[in-house]
Amino acid sequence: MAIDVFAADEQSDRPIDLSRWTQLARSVLDTQALKEDVEVSLLFVDEPTIVQLRERFLGESGPTDVLSFPIDPEPDHGGRSPDEGGTGPGGGLASDEDAIPILLGDVVVCPSIAARNASERSVAFEDEVALLVVHGLLHLLGMDHQADDEAERMEQREQQLLDRFNRGSG
């Protein structure tokens, strides 16, 4: 199984070590026993951008530290997806080498808000960014925190992953 993480720093408020956060994302996803090749985008944006994304896609105003945009791997239309092959020209079953990866989605982090959160919580900036990356990835993997029991499970999993992959590195 291959894990592809595309990372981009689209802000200039705080320096971001893209290779560190890409590796954290790969490590977290590697622990999830995913059965297919997967792709994730990890984007670091400025505050106006995250405000705009939050308003556009969630209908909520104001800034936030992280947003996750899962991509449903199942086609939302009837019938066969064009990428599923078939008997026409170029069709047939794809080999494992040609398999199209599952697009899990995008995690969007705002470093300037992460810096404020870190200061308010008296933690290192890097530890706050690590938490946001892990939190966003868990949302892509289907975890949520709407109900108390879900929130508790998600927080426990975040801590397990952070203890394993981030502690002592920030």
Query: Which two tokens mark 153?
Result: 């499970």
Residue 161: which of 128, 138, 129 has the closest Cα? 138
Total residue count of the chain as it appears in this document? 170
Query: Is residue 85 a part of any domain in this protein?
Result: no
Q: Considering its fold, how many domains does the chain have in total?
A: 1
Query: Is residue 137 a part of any domain in this protein?
Result: yes
Q: How far is CA 62 from CA 23, 24, 109, in A?
A: 30, 28, 14
Name the CA dihedral angle for 3, 144, 112, 19, rounded to a multiple of 10 degrees.
-10
- Find the CATH number of the domain harbouring 116: 3.40.390.30
Query: Is residue 148 a part of any domain in this protein?
Result: yes
**What pLDDT sits at residue 94?**
46
**What pLDDT sits at residue 167?**
64
Query: Is residue 19 a part of any domain in this protein?
Result: yes
Q: Residue 99 belongs to what domain range?
A: 3-75+94-165
**What pLDDT sits at residue 48?**
97
Q: Residue 156: CB partners within 8 Å, gap ≥ 6? A: none
**Per-position pLDDT tens, the chain of length 170:** 788 999 999 999 999 999 999 999 999 999 987 778 889 999 999 999 999 999 999 999 999 999 999 986 543 434 443 444 444 444 444 445 556 778 899 999 999 999 999 999 999 999 999 999 999 999 998 888 777 788 889 899 999 999 999 865 44
**What pLDDT sits at residue 73?**
53
Query: Is residue 109 a part of any domain in this protein?
Result: yes
